[in-house]
């Protein structure tokens, strides 16, 4: 039973073709059909590296380690209990002196999600591992996986079922034939992915990756009747991004993200810019705008002060749903800290920096 099973909300995507070019990136487009959204997601996918692709574990172009937190609140003005998603993650590079031009990445990811009037709550805890190998002096290939434990629970008191409709409205005091075998379930979950980065010059950086989530297709159901069983379909995620340094004080970062799970698809693309505010690059102003196909426009604002970066985005609804939520979709914040180990030897920074 997916996280939107109790709201019956469908995000409708028409077939479209979008061609996205940014210097060395050519955006690719697949044609999504009418969908029902599944799995949690963040608009700031670029600031949620381990939930996007486990091969990102320890793939930190400008640091040795990072820790981050993410929070998203969706549909708060049209639902008594809106969708709330929180994540905490951390990853680090290890054994850079043990492998020739390579290293390991280890990390963790914790996700908490609450959805709808049925109080469908999800708690997910993952451990991830990846290996990164330099290919010459200007490219890097990575592969990784994560294994996690998921707990889901539901409160049935507020749920309404078809046989409780009295002809005018749903009456929850009426008996229902729907019975739950469990109000809490647990299962293991597996993700895997690959990543490639190309950095021919100090002011050019290109990155692309592909990951498969729910590789083991775990079963998820609160019912004993096999008719209501739900094998979670695999979710495919692909992304591409780049960084281009223009002059001494400006970096542009275009990116595109595609996700598909069963009949649910989404495309997210946009551009961020980083403006250096002092000579050492310790203070940066971040701005940008992203677009989710046939759904929302997403402005971004943020700051970076030394090793700490803060970003805020807001999903302003453009689809027909705006008639109900007055274009107020979802607010999202992220906080990320990066750092180097003590006495880290100087080495090549893979991406443009100030």
What DSSP string runs through 236-296?
EEEEEEEEEEETTTEEEEEEEEEEEETTEEEEEEEEEEEEE-STTS-EEEEEEEEEETTTE
Question: Residue 188 and residue 34: Cα distance in Å, rounded?
Answer: 29
Q: What's the confidence (pLDDT) of residue 20?
A: 30
Q: How far is CA 67 from the centre of its chain?
A: 15
Rounded distance between C-alpha atoms, residue 122 and residue 218, angstroms:
15
- pLDDT confidence of residue 34: 35
Burial environment of residue 273 by CB neighbours within 10 A (0 to 12, 13 to 18, 19 or more): middle
Q: Which class for 212: exposed (0-12), middle (13-18), buried (19 or more C-beta within 10 A)?
A: middle
Q: What integer pLDDT is reported at residue 3 of this predicted model?
A: 41
At residue 138 the predicted structure's pLDDT band, cuts being 50, 70 and 90, is very high
Q: Per-residue pLDDT averaged across 46-51, rounded?
A: 94
Q: Taking residues 117-129, what's their average pLDDT?
A: 86
Q: What pLDDT shows up at residue 228?
A: 59
Q: What is the pLDDT, as a whole number, of residue 273?
A: 96
Q: Examine the pLDDT at 32 and tell me if it is beyond 50.
A: no
Cα 18 to the chain's mean position, in Å?
21
The answer to whether residues 302 and 287 touch, using CB atoms and an 8 Å cutoff, is yes
Structure-model confidence comparison of residues 56 and 12, the more confident one: 56
Kindly tell me if the per-residue pLDDT of 187 is higher than 80. yes
Question: Could you give the maximum distance between any two Cα atoms of the chain, in Å?
Answer: 73
Residue 278 burial class via C-beta count within 10 angstroms: exposed 0-12, middle 13-18, buried 19 and up? exposed
Say what the pLDDT of residue 322 is.
Answer: 60
Q: Would the pLDDT of 12 be above 80?
A: no
Contact 192, 144 (CB under 8 A): yes
Residue 116 has pLDDT above 70, yes or no: no
Residues 40 and 294: beta-carbon distance below 8 Å: no
For the chain, percent of residues with pLDDT exceeding 70: 80
Query: Which of 289, 260, 257 minimizes the C-alpha distance to 273?
Result: 289
**Which pair of structure tokens corresponds to residue 18?**
């979008």
d(CA 147, CA 157): 33
Nearest Cα neighbor of 217 from 196, 203, 234, 242 is: 234
Distance in angstroms (rounded) separating the CA atoms of residues 349 and 227: 54
- Say how far apart CA 191 and CA 213 lie, in whole Å: 4
pLDDT band at 10 (very low <50, low <70, confident <90, very high): very low
Q: What is the mean pLDDT of residues 62-72?
A: 94
- Nearest partner of 302 among 284, 329, 290, judged by Cα: 284
How would residue 24 be classed by pLDDT, with cut points 50, 70 and 90?
very low
Q: Which residues pair with 195 in a beta bridge?
A: 142, 209
**Residue 293 CA to its chain's centroid (Å):** 16
- pLDDT tens digits along 318-341: 866 666 555 566 889 999 999 988
Q: Which residues pair with 26 in a beta bridge?
A: 21
Domain 20-339 annotated CATH 3.30.565.10: no
The secondary structure of residue 55, as a DSSP letter, is G
State pTM to two decimals. 0.81
Kindly report which listed range (71-85, 135-149, 241-255) carries the lowest average pLDDT score.
71-85
């Amino acid at each position: 039973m997916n996280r939107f099973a109790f709201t019956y909300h469908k995000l409708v995507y028409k077939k479209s073709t979008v061609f996205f070019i940014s210097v060395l990136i050519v955006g690719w487009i697949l044609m999504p059909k009418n969908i029902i959204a599944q799995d949690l997601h963040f608009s700031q996918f670029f600031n949620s590296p381990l939930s996007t692709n486990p091969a990102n574990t320890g793939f930190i172009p400008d640091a040795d380690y990072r820790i981050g937190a993410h929070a998203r609140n969706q549909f708060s003005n049209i639902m008594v209990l809106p969708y709330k998603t929180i994540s905490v993650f951390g990853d680090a590079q290890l054994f850079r002196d043990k492998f020739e031009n390579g290293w390991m990445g280890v990390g963790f990811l914790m996700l908490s999600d609450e959805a709808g009037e049925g109080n469908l709550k999800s708690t997910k805890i993952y451990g991830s591992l990846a290996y990164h190998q330099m290919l010459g002096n200007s490219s890097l290939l990575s592969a990784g996986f994560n294994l996690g434990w998921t707990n889901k629970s539901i409160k049935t008191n507020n749920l309404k079922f078809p046989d409780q409709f009295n002809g005018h409205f749903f009456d929850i005091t009426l008996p229902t034939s729907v019975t739950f075998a469990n109000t809490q379930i647990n299962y293991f979950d597996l993700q895997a992915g690959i990543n490639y980065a190309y950095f021919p010059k100090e002011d050019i950086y290109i990155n692309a990756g592909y990951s498969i989530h729910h590789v083991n297709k775990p079963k998820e159901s609160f019912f004993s009747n096999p008719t209501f069983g739900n094998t979670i379909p695999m979710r495919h995620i692909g992304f591409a991004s780049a960084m281009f340094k223009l002059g001494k004080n400006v970096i542009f970062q275009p990116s595109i993200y595609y996700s598909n799970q069963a009949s649910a698809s989404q495309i997210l693309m946009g551009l961020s810019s980083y403006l250096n505010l002092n000579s050492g690059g310790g203070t940066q102003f971040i701005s940008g705008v992203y677009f989710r196909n046939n759904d929302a426009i997403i402005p971004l604002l943020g700051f970076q002060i030394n090793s700490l970066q803060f970003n805020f985005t807001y999903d302003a609804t453009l689809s027909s749903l705006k008639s109900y939520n007055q274009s107020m979709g979802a607010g999202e914040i992220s906080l990320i800290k990066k750092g180097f180990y003590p006495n880290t030897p100087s080495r090549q920074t893979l991406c443009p920096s100030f």
